[in-house]
Amino acid sequence: MIEIGDNVRITSGVRFVTHDGGVWVLRHKYSELSDIDLFGKIRIGNNVHIGFNAIIMPGVTIGDNCIIGCGTIVTHDIPANSIVVGVPGRVIESIGEYAAKHDDDFMHTKKMATDEKKAFVLGHLK
């Protein structure tokens, strides 16, 4: 029910919902629907980051190279190269716009040793 591409980071608290629980009400309201379920496959592309406590709803496809913000509820398909935030999730900018906006903020510390990184970061924070 869930397809996950390559190089996908799923952080703490992320939830994947592959069924629509709302049909519970329909089962009890309409006798002819007493045995229904509603499922939707979730597809996550390549090179995607899904932030803390995001919820991905049934039937959603997230394209390649996307960032899903913390706490976002994704209810519709997300195009590739998008930054998505909010409830419900909406595209706020492209990956290219995000990179350009933060170009002066990026610190090239990923390959530094822990102590070196700590000193560098503390020395550069405003």
- Confidence band, pLDDT 50/70/90 cuts, at residue 124: confident
- Confidence band, pLDDT 50/70/90 cuts, at residue 56: very high
> Is residue 2 within 8 Å of 41, Cβ to Cβ?
yes
- Hey, is 56 helix, strand or coil? strand
pLDDT tens, 13-55? Answer: 999 999 999 999 999 999 999 999 999 999 999 999 999 999 9
- Hey, is 100 helix, strand or coil? helix
Residue 13 is which amino acid? G
pLDDT(85) > 90 = yes
Task: Please state, in angstroms and rounded to a whole number, the distance separating the CA atoms of residues 70 and 14.
Answer: 9
pTM: 0.90
Q: Mean pLDDT across the stretch 58-87?
A: 98
- Hey, is 17 helix, strand or coil? coil
Instruction: For residue 13, give both structure tokens.
Output: 């608290």
Quote the pLDDT of residue 102: 94
Quote the pLDDT of residue 125: 84
pLDDT(91) > 90 = yes
Q: For residue 71, how many other CB atoms are within 10 A of its CB?
A: 15
Q: Mean pLDDT across the stretch 61-68?
A: 98
pLDDT(126) > 80 = no
**pLDDT above 90 as % of the chain:** 95
Quote the pLDDT of residue 5: 98
